[in-house]
Amino acid sequence: MPTGPHPLRRLQHPPSIKVRFMTVTPDNIPGDPRFFVTQGPFELADLARCSGAELRAAKDGGEARRFTGIAPLQSATRAQVSFLDNRRYLPLLEGTDAGAVIVAPAFADKVPAHAAVLVSRAPYQAWARIAALFYPAPPVAPGIHPTAVIGAGCEIDPTAAIGAFAVLGERVRVGAGVDIGTHVSIGAGVEIGARCRIGAHVAISHALLGERVTLLPGARIGQDGFGFAVTPEGFENVPQLGRVILEDGVEIGANSTVDRGSIRDTVIGAGSRLDNLVQIGHNARLGRCCIVVSQAGISGSTELGDFVTVAAQAGLIGHIKIGAKARIGAQCGVMSDVDAGADVIGSPAMPFREFFRNVAFLRRMARKTTQDGGGEKADKA
């Protein structure tokens, strides 16, 4: 809510920041070898096999090539693979120098003659697989860093990796292939299924994690929920006696927070993805494959069905139910139940269609009334 004039507007000339930036080399994008391990080169047949795409030779009959990596359409070279997933970027496709392009069937004949075509009904997924072929995730290096502090009674699979300064309380169980980062704090009794990846500075307590759960740096799982009784002497804590259950394949973004339940569990269903800075209140339950975009918040005891999407900065009040496949728009404020499959937006939430109708109506009417004059001045809030 800016109130004064923009301070930058006072400047006659823009600030003269000097950039002495030495190390940025744009030609290393994507896949800067400082940060990523590269595999390859690969033949076209390798790319088709790994991605499940159908291979069509370049129209100009160019020989089979070897590919060294991936790149966006506008910068790819003959030795690189690119892809088109969005009709909006069609003009870039026509001008690309990429040696091969992944496309949906509808665009296959738009690919330039010099390029091989990898036709896929799921081009984004094919792209993901080819990218992972060239730039595989680094393998987990098993072993417990000598600085880690491991509590009594822990069971740690010998194929798991535990990073520097990690602290595991008593009786923690860590499955096969798990990768626990530096400075991670895991409370007593926590169980972590196979192939989980726990980022730096994550704190977990009172929680059970399935397999292939990923927690990005700074996520907080299992702390006390926001529960207290109001008394004449102030607020009195209500013991939070539930757990957090993160089912298989859940991913939780950086600095997100998931409180443990008070009297039942807080549950994130299998395959669900939470972005950064998301808040999940105590006793909340998300179904399978839900998507919660960054800075959204789900209040205590609210339940989401399967495949629900909650867009960025949306907020859901407590104790409501959101039906399967519902879609909650960005910044939406949801105060009551939402039907399965419904699209809502606005604060308070309403159907998409109604929201945009209201917006258009209000603009038209306010403009008209003001133009009609009538001496009424807009009184600012």
In the chain, the amino acid numbered 368 is K
Please report which residue ranges of the chain form alpha helices under DSSP H.
44-51, 90-95, 123-134, 352-371
Exactly one of 141, 231, 373, 375 binds a copy of itself (CB under 8 A); which one? 231
Q: Which stretch binds a copy of itself (CB under 8 A): 53-61, 66-74, 93-101, 109-117?
A: 66-74
Find the shortest distance in angstroms from Cβ 250 to a copy of itself. Answer: 10
DSSP 140: P
Q: Which stretch binds a copy of itself (CB under 8 A): 97-105, 109-117, 154-162, 353-361?
A: 353-361
Buried b / exposed e across 322-336, counting CB within 10 Å, b at 16+? bbbbbbbbeebbbee
159 makes contact with a copy of itself (CB under 8 A): no
Give every CB contact of residue 54 below 8 A, 6+ residues apart in sequence. Answer: 48, 118, 119, 120
Exactly one of 48, 58, 70, 117 binds a copy of itself (CB under 8 A); which one? 70
8 makes contact with a copy of itself (CB under 8 A): yes
74-113: which residues touch a copy of itself (CB under 8 A)? none
CA distance 309 to 327: 5
Exactly one of 116, 279, 284, 302 binds a copy of itself (CB under 8 A); which one? 279
Find the shortest distance in angstroms from Cβ 8 to a copy of itself. Answer: 5
40 contacts 69 by C-beta, under 8 angstroms: yes
Choice between 27 and 60, CB closer to a copy of itself? 27
Choice between 60 and 376, CB closer to a copy of itself? 376
313-342: which residues touch a copy of itself (CB under 8 A)? 313, 315, 317, 325, 327, 329-331, 333, 335-336
Q: Which stretch binds a copy of itself (CB under 8 A): 55-63, 100-108, 152-160, 345-353?
A: 345-353
Exactly one of 140, 191, 321, 337 binds a copy of itself (CB under 8 A); which one? 191
285 makes contact with a copy of itself (CB under 8 A): no
Cis peptide before 348 (omega within 30 of 0): yes
CA–CA distances in Å: residue 287 to residues 85, 266, 269, 331: 28, 11, 4, 21
43 makes contact with a copy of itself (CB under 8 A): no
Choice between 15 and 61, CB closer to a copy of itself? 15
244 contacts 219 by C-beta, under 8 angstroms: no
Site size for a copy of itself, by CB under 8 A?
161
3-state secondary structure of 104: coil
* Length in residues, the chain: 381
Choice between 109 and 370, CB closer to a copy of itself? 370
Backbone phi and psi for residue 309, each to the nearest 5 degrees, phi listed first: -110, 130
Find the shortest distance in angstroms from Cβ 160 to a copy of itself. Answer: 16
CA distance 266 to 280: 8
45 makes contact with a copy of itself (CB under 8 A): no
Q: Which stretch binds a copy of itself (CB under 8 A): 32-40, 92-100, 103-111, 154-162?
A: 32-40
303 makes contact with a copy of itself (CB under 8 A): no
Q: Which stretch binds a copy of itself (CB under 8 A): 90-98, 100-108, 152-160, 201-209?
A: 201-209
In the chain, the amino acid numbered 160 is A
Find the shortest distance in angstroms from Cβ 63 to a copy of itself. Answer: 27
Exactly one of 262, 268, 284, 302 binds a copy of itself (CB under 8 A); which one? 262
Q: Which long-range contacts (CB under 8 A, 24 or more apart) does 119-123 make?
A: 119/53, 119/54, 119/55, 119/56, 120/51, 120/52, 120/53, 120/54, 122/52, 123/53, 123/83, 123/84, 123/85
Q: Is 114 a catalytic site residue? A: no
- Active-site residues, by number, are 282
